[in-house]
Amino acid sequence: MSFNSFGFILVFLPVTLLIYWMLKKKGQNGVSVWFLVLASVFFYCVNFPKGIVPFALSLIVNYLLAQRILLGCRKTFLTAGIVFNVILLCIFKYSILIFPDVGNILSAPGISFYTFAQIALLCECSVGTVRELSAGEYAFLMTFFPKITQGPITQPGDILPQGKGRDRVDAETIYRSILLFTIGCFKKVIIADTLGAAADYGFSNLESMHSGEALIIMLSYTLQLYFDFSGYCDMATAVAALFGFELPLNFDSPYKAHNIAEFWKRWHMSLTRFLTKYIYIPLGGNRRGLRRTCINILIVFLISGIWHGAGITFVIWGMMHGLLMLIYRLYSTYKKPSDKSNVVIKGLSVILTFLYVNAAWVFFRAPGIKDAVSLFRSVADMWFPRLNYGLAKCFNIEELWYVIKVLHLDGYSNSIYILMFVILASLLAVVFFAPNSVDISKKCKISWGTSILIIVLGVWCLLSFEGVATYLYVNF
């Protein structure tokens, strides 16, 4: 029962919304929050029954630790809480490295996200930012279903100031939330899953890849990961808004970044914020000299890599970002970047940053180092024969292919290849030039045209639900 399923859209969401707002209307604010907690726990258990034990253990132990910290036992119980959460994360996420056979048994989807949220809460309780915390507030903060499995990673200051949420949601908010949800669903169901088919095909046939195919595979995964994860966050933000709550922005057109530092201010922003606030700054940040700053940067990205997955490829991915961030920090220390750079320089910096991030994603996706090296070797061969028909067919979106047939363009021998390049070029134009989907939902005019767009994209997604793959980040 993921966001992009009939069960969620036609049953769970409308029923939950109806009961929640009925309770709010009767003035039962406290009861409405507890109802959302129960609905969120139900949502998690239905989707991930194997993760119930670690999820429940995390909730109970961390709540007790938070209460002890608030009573004044700060240092001892904060340390105990961090150790407990790290151990829990290691057992249910990284034990697969040592005991491969028990990997499926110790499955706990979303544990990376709610573990970091728990650590953030304990830290805020320790420094006094959170002075009191009721069981209802804690339970809602940690279980709210739109963000439980894939974020954004919320901190207490994101949710607690909102109290028990708004007393009502107006028609415009509902309209704009439906628009954002539809955009997010389209990004996942139509775009990301199409790109995912190409990436899966490529990584399953690395031995026979030539340079052109290898480049398309790399680009496909780079775009898939963005549209998949940002699409989920769009839907999560929209669903939260329907309940009267605002989630922090997690993506801000990251592939438009001019450098690696800006990329991490735009990509998975809640993770960047967590790592900066609770790891980088406590380590000393940039306050202890250049050498220590460089070490701190590498530590942060090492942790980021390990957090994402149990494998050496994730460590390499993290270190690639860390090394480029270190180089950029050294460069900016001796030569401040100028905002007056000409358009050509800015455009080139965006392209170079994108290409580097693209290369790093290979290690993020590859099953092992050998597979990643094989793909890079194919690119380096600079061999560009005719593209494999099987790869091009992955981009054969049925609805678009039907248009091609109506226009009698399917008779051309290269029509399927043209369709593939048109799709990739269009998606590149979107990530480099289009506004953020959250901005679109907030600023677009409410009109018949927008309403028709919602209907068309929504129906298109509904008709494609049967072949939908799971979200990528639910595994991280």
The domain of 157 spans 6-164
Are both 455 and 349 inside the same structural domain?
A: yes
Q: What's the pLDDT tens digit per position in 168-178?
A: 889 999 999 99
Give pLDDT, residue 396: 82
**272 domain residue, yes or no:** no
Give pLDDT, residue 286: 85
**403 domain residue, yes or no:** yes
**283 domain residue, yes or no:** no
Give pLDDT, residue 265: 95
Q: Taking a C-beta distance cutoff of 8 angstroms, is the pair 242, 177 a contact?
A: yes
Of 115, 135, 164, the residue that ends a domain is: 164
Give pLDDT, residue 383: 85
Phi, psi dihedral angles at 12 (to 5 degrees) = -60, -50
Number of domains into which the chain is organized: 2
Are both 229 and 127 inside the same structural domain?
A: no
Give pLDDT, residue 287: 86
Give pLDDT, residue 100: 57
Are both 386 and 421 inside the same structural domain?
A: yes
**Tens of each residue's pLDDT in the chain, 476 residues:** 788 888 999 999 999 999 999 999 888 888 999 999 999 999 999 988 888 988 999 999 999 999 999 988 888 999 999 999 999 988 887 766 666 555 556 677 788 899 999 999 999 999 989 888 899 999 999 999 999 888 899 998 888 888 777 888 899 999 999 999 999 999 999 999 999 999 999 999 888 889 999 999 999 999 999 999 999 999 999 999 999 999 999 999 999 999 999 999 999 999 999 999 999 999 998 888 888 999 999 999 999 999 988 789 999 999 999 999 999 988 887 776 555 567 888 899 999 999 999 999 999 999 899 999 999 999 998 888 888 888 888 888 777 766 666 666 666 767 788 889 989 999 999 999 999 999 999 999 888 988 999 999 988 888 887 766 666 666 66
Q: Which of 247, 248, 234, 252 is nearest to 178 (CA)?
A: 234
Give pLDDT, residue 250: 94
SS3 content of the chain, % helix, strand, coil (to 5): 75, 0, 25
**326 domain residue, yes or no:** no
Six-digit token pair at 81?
């809480």
**292 domain residue, yes or no:** no
Give pLDDT, residue 356: 97
Are both 203 and 152 inside the same structural domain?
A: no
Are both 180 and 57 inside the same structural domain?
A: no
Which residues, other chains included, contact 145 with Cβ-Cβ below 8 Å and sequence gap of 6+? 36, 39, 40, 43, 44, 239
Of 164, 194, 225, the residue that ends a domain is: 164
Of 164, 186, 206, the residue that ends a domain is: 164
Give pLDDT, residue 226: 96
**317 domain residue, yes or no:** no
Are both 180 and 201 inside the same structural domain?
A: yes
**225 domain residue, yes or no:** yes
Are both 153 and 194 inside the same structural domain?
A: no
Q: What is the pTM of this model?
A: 0.92
Alpha-carbon distances, residue 235 vs 161, 173, 438, 476 (angstroms): 22, 14, 10, 19
**H helix intervals, 289-414:** 290-308, 312-334, 343-365, 369-380, 389-393, 398-406
Question: How far is residue 72's CA from residue 55's CA, in Å, rounded to a whole number?
Answer: 26
**1 domain residue, yes or no:** no
Are both 390 and 246 inside the same structural domain?
A: yes
Helices (H) and strands (E) in the chain, counts: 23, 0
Q: Please, what is the angle between helix 111-127 and helix 135-143, to 10°?
A: 140
Are both 34 and 74 inside the same structural domain?
A: yes
Are both 107 and 253 inside the same structural domain?
A: no
Q: What's the pLDDT tens digit per position in 322-373?
A: 999 999 988 887 776 555 567 888 899 999 999 999 999 999 999 899 999 9
Are both 50 and 194 inside the same structural domain?
A: no
Are both 14 and 109 inside the same structural domain?
A: yes
DSSP state of 311: S
Six-digit token pair at 220?
């496909």
